[in-house]
Structure 1
């Protein structure tokens, strides 16, 4: 204790003498890295923090700006007990005013925000200033996000150091969104970019339940207030963000139906009205030799929907009768917010004879991070009219581009192809089809698709060898149970309690949860149902072709089943079994 006391007194003495900003920063870094020095020495801590505050005030007053790293002082000042400094309140007022009015350079505006936050911390407004600081970041210009990578990485480091909770973040975002219509259009359109780019991708915040329970409702109210035709960009931007937040946690058809009622119905009425008020070329049946069919996809990547669609097209386009009568197009919506199109998948489609259209991607502003859903939708719509598309098949759902295209009537005949969401019901659907067979309130034309072996068993021997190595983690008499896919589908009490019962009654079994997201929520349920953690393993995002050979029995998720993953698993061999459970 005596040594700590002497050390801190020496630092206090240094702070009382003239210091170059570099030497001052070095002292601050020492204190930030050794906060345990203050234990039992709170009075001395406050004297040091008082001196640091005075030093920063003097630097700024004489024209020396402190850099963004000083936001980390929040860790030291959160428990400080200092009197307010009136002169700092004046600084805060001036900096915040300058921040609000500044519109020339986003990086400089960023600096004003950080300086204001630093002074608020120094003057004791710790908790409120943190929420304000977090909330303000959603309003930076979306086009400038890519230019600020270093700053956003520094912010994520700050979040880690202060152990930022999602409760605090959700309060900050919810409060900041209250002034959504008070900011410029560019700032409104930046909301999606900054929320997904900065906050969604931080730590374990991806798919956190509070996105849906606390933030979705606030976004929905803003979405409903976008009623003017000039709000089309904001409407589609919020539509995409809500789809991302809500549907990443949705498990049931009832949840899909609620999203359809709250968002899709509202959106497509707006999109239809916009299309009627603007001179879009009306879709007409053309008199060409072949009937043109366009498959509309969010992006072209080798995911489960692609494997189903490609397998079906492979069969159809090998039939001369079909080829003589039909021409097939595939349009990518270029949702680069999720991922880029896969060139190998595009080449596979083209080898089949499919015409792949990437006009949405060609419409993007590749020098910016924010991308317009509206611009992409119009690019696809116009190209479909130019190509005289007869039938459009929407092979995705709940994205604004697809909903806009159907509401605006992009083709004479419009078909929705469900890959699992049977509650999607928007303006412009003439017919519904699906390769799934399940009860729902709408009329679907059913068909079966046999997935090509090239998707089920690529590099079969290599994957079997990799699976054999993984199986060495357990003894040979162990039966490996598991499931593959988004963990949201297993994150419910009914499924986890059933797994608990199976493991209890079968001591020679283990369970592998193969997928990402929701880990903490599932762990809480595992504790609740007394599932031993040495028999339940989170494998993370896995190669399904490898783990299809690792797992012996696939325990299908419920109430929302696993989808194409089950079929892929069964193709791994005759010794593979799927058990479909019921609540």
Structure 2
């Protein structure tokens, strides 16, 4: 951008330097703020001055160069501004005059380009910045009506492709911005409604998606504006008036674009759309036929993803099962019977009993680590391998993520084939048919003579269809935490979350308990030189002498005021402590939750400076960075915490059961452990059992709280040992923890194989 010669050089700023910092600490607006009211005023004044300097330079350069290349560059640089900058300028008399002059000149330059037949492009949507507050003296410019009318008449007519529709959307929205220079919410709502109808697979759609994900927050588009726009498109009469591809697009843009906007991501307000989604699903089932079932199957997957990532409780999952899963499986069963595809294969059985496992996708997440460890234990047992063989059937839900080929190969190297009969349907991208996938997998299950089908899925349309159409003689639901998924096409249920019990009741439902000894390479992989250097480098980024508290997992589990009240009290007692919130989720919601623990805004802002949101991380690295894991409650982190502890980490945890009940549970487990022969064939003695009980109690109870008060007390006690450098105590506590885990691993390995074989032999 050229700079005007009459601008004071002392006031010039680099126009390619964003006004909004791009550091991890700046992801929360609270963290960008100063830590006391006086600093806040200074911070605002400085930002306003920078914005004015930016506009001075931009205005002068626009006077000198009105070419499209220069305007395109300016639109890109406008992304350095935020809606709050514009608000501050409007509150400043000089800033307001400068802003009005700049807008007037922009109008002239862009109008000239449009009259010459030039196209604006996605970047010109940055002009939305100037529509929040109307400038005095900036009236409607009716010259842009001709472009608005032309674009409006050309939108979504049969002779135009979606590439052309995208160009007309750009012209229509930019024309409205430049004509009115106000009505921000109305224009944004129109844009959301229009863009939602376009094929999301197109390259130009990707440009729009990148603009939305990258700039909606700085533009000031809030969640209510988004949801209000979507509610109009999700109205049953409006939705079904569109052709099927556009109906699918409305869902695709929610899932693959709007969901990924940082301050919309995993926001609880998405659940406001639940009833609308449900009504659409029910209407799809009512429409019936192949098309109705196909649409419903995708809609069920869509709802599972959007709702499931927001659910916190078993009660929410129970409602989803009642409203969605049970309704769906009833329709799927009727459809399968009507189409003559209900039931299992009648072909000749194979030499061994074949077990099929139905997987949504193959990636290195916690369910994979549990499943792979279980299968490794099973395949090391001759009694099992003599009778059974296992195959994985991939649903390949690319809408969630593509399969990791390393994970696919890990199964194959274990001797387990991964059956893929659905990739051929991916030529349609995000418009692939879930019904075609389900039918292809069902056919493969029948062809392969699968006798036992295990589904760790709890609500996908594809998996529910396969179960509802009866694809194996025995169909088992494997739970990784949803204990209320209950549909009639499931014959039995199992889970590794079982306290080493062969039978366990969760939420009123009976499960076969299948404990799993985790592979060491998942929980505590060896650290090479590069990993150690990475750990040291990350730790060096924090103040020297810091005690690093934190957790790893979905951020939604940290959305608990009760939890943060404890953490705040702990950290205020030890100012050298910081907190690492590791994992994906909506950071702004967690920041709001933390802020609610304070009565003074300045205190909240100061505290937030000590909370670091890392986003997705490598748990193998960060598991060695966090000094003390403060487990969340009432929702705990689960496998990620267990993985951390297996590395020798120390974790404060809130117990869900009373102390007396926990002690009795330890004694019961040790009775079973005592029955496991030692490796030399000898039997364990009563003395060994008593020593094991003492060891487990001494390793667990200093880290286990039974109330919020005790949670704080035990965390503070542990912190004191860190701060005082009491390495002997910490080493002894970690050593006891490792020995206690070894006892548990011995039991899980021995009992897990027996329990699994017990579960699959039940009729």
Question: With structure 1 as the length reference, what TM-score do the two structures score?
Answer: 0.86
CA distance in 2, matches of 1:69, 1:355: 47
Instruction: Give the 3-state SS of the residue equivalent to 1:460 in structure 2.
Output: coil
CA distance in 2, matches of 1:310, 1:207: 28
Q: Please tell me whether residue 340 in structure 1 is matched to residue 402 in structure 2.
A: yes
Query: Comparing 290-299 with 44-53, which one deviates more in the overlay?
Result: 44-53
Q: Please tell me whether residue 357 in structure 1 is matched to residue 413 in structure 2.
A: no
CA distance in 2, matches of 1:32, 1:358: 44
Query: Comparing 78-87 with 310-319, which one deviates more in the overlay?
Result: 78-87
- Report if the CA contact (8 A) 1:103-1:109 is conserved: no
Q: Which residue of 2 aligns with 1:105?
A: 161
Q: Please tell me whether residue 118 in structure 1 is matched to residue 180 in structure 2.
A: no
- Report if the CA contact (8 A) 1:145-1:369 is conserved: no
CA distance in 1, matches of 2:426, 2:455: 21
Q: Which residue of 1 aligns with 2:219?
A: 162
Query: Comparing 529-538 with 382-391, which one deviates more in the overlay?
Result: 529-538
CA distance in 2, matches of 1:101, 1:123: 24
Q: Please tell me whether residue 386 in structure 1 is matched to residue 454 in structure 2.
A: no
Offset of 1:395 from its aligned partner?
A: 1.4
Q: Please tell me whether residue 538 in structure 1 is matched to residue 613 in structure 2.
A: yes
Instruction: Give the 3-state SS of the residue equivalent to 2:156 in structure 1.
Output: helix
The superposition leaves residues 254-292 of structure 1 with CA deviations (integer Å, 9 ceiling, x where unpaired) of 121122222222222222222222232631465332111
Report the CA distance shift for 1:467/1:121 in structure 2 as closer, same or farther (over 3 A). closer
Q: Which residue of 1 aligns with 2:279?
A: 221
Q: Please tell me whether residue 289 in structure 1 is matched to residue 347 in structure 2.
A: no
- Report if the CA contact (8 A) 2:623-2:644 is conserved: yes
Counting only pairs closer than 5 Å after superposition, residues 53-92 of structure 1 correspond to structure 2 as 60=114, 63-78=117-132, 79-80=134-135, 84=140, 89=145, 92=148
Report the CA distance shift for 1:117/1:173 in structure 2 as closer, same or farther (over 3 A). same
CA distance in 2, matches of 1:188, 1:517: 27
Report the CA distance shift for 1:88/1:270 in structure 2 as closer, same or farther (over 3 A). farther
Offset of 1:518 from its aligned partner?
A: 2.9
- Report if the CA contact (8 A) 2:143-2:179 is conserved: no
Offset of 1:76 from its aligned partner?
A: 3.2
Unmatched segments (≥5 aa) in structure 2? 1-5, 9-51, 499-504, 599-603, 657-706, 708-763
Q: Please tell me whether residue 499 in structure 1 is matched to residue 553 in structure 2.
A: no
CA distance in 1, matches of 2:426, 2:486: 29
- Report if the CA contact (8 A) 1:394-1:415 is conserved: yes
The superposition leaves residues 17-43 of structure 1 with CA deviations (integer Å, 9 ceiling, x where unpaired) of 998766777898899989759954868
- Report if the CA contact (8 A) 1:491-1:518 is conserved: no
Question: With structure 2 as the length reference, what TM-score do the two structures score?
Answer: 0.67
Residue from 516, 519, 522 that aligns with 1:455 = 522
The superposition leaves residues 53-95 of structure 1 with CA deviations (integer Å, 9 ceiling, x where unpaired) of 5776676567555444433333335414655566755653442
CA distance in 1, matches of 2:65, 2:626: 67
- Report if the CA contact (8 A) 1:181-1:188 is conserved: yes
Instruction: Give the 3-state SS of the residue equivalent to 1:444 in structure 2.
Output: strand
Report the CA distance shift for 1:75/1:535 in structure 2 as closer, same or farther (over 3 A). closer
Query: Comparing 312-321 with 44-53, which one deviates more in the overlay?
Result: 44-53
Residue from 338, 353, 367 that aligns with 1:305 = 367
Offset of 1:552 from its aligned partner?
A: 4.2
Offset of 1:451 from its aligned partner?
A: 0.2
Instruction: Give the 3-state SS of the residue equivalent to 1:560 in structure 2.
Output: coil
Query: Comparing 524-533 with 299-308, which one deviates more in the overlay?
Result: 524-533
CA distance in 2, matches of 1:523, 1:534: 11
CA distance in 2, matches of 1:517, 1:18: 43
Q: Which residue of 1 aligns with 2:383?
A: 321
Residue from 177, 186, 191 that aligns with 2:234 = 177
Residue from 330, 354, 358 that aligns with 2:392 = 330
Q: Please tell me whether residue 140 in structure 1 is matched to residue 209 in structure 2.
A: no
Q: Please tell me whether residue 426 in structure 1 is matched to residue 487 in structure 2.
A: yes
Offset of 1:113 from its aligned partner?
A: 1.5
Report the CA distance shift for 1:379/1:553 in structure 2 as closer, same or farther (over 3 A). same
CA distance in 1, matches of 2:496, 2:269: 33
Q: Which residue of 2 aligns with 1:203?
A: 262
RMSD: 3.6
How many residue pairs match? The answer is: 573
Report the CA distance shift for 1:107/1:576 in structure 2 as closer, same or farther (over 3 A). same
Report the CA distance shift for 1:31/1:486 in structure 2 as closer, same or farther (over 3 A). closer
- Report if the CA contact (8 A) 2:122-2:207 is conserved: no
Query: Comparing 281-290 with 516-525, which one deviates more in the overlay?
Result: 281-290
Query: Comparing 96-105 with 65-74, which one deviates more in the overlay?
Result: 65-74
Report the CA distance shift for 1:180/1:253 in structure 2 as closer, same or farther (over 3 A). same
CA distance in 2, matches of 1:553, 1:525: 21
CA distance in 2, matches of 1:31, 1:555: 42
Query: Comparing 376-385 with 417-426, which one deviates more in the overlay?
Result: 376-385
Report the CA distance shift for 1:299/1:130 in structure 2 as closer, same or farther (over 3 A). same
Instruction: Give the 3-state SS of the residue equivalent to 1:206 in structure 2.
Output: coil
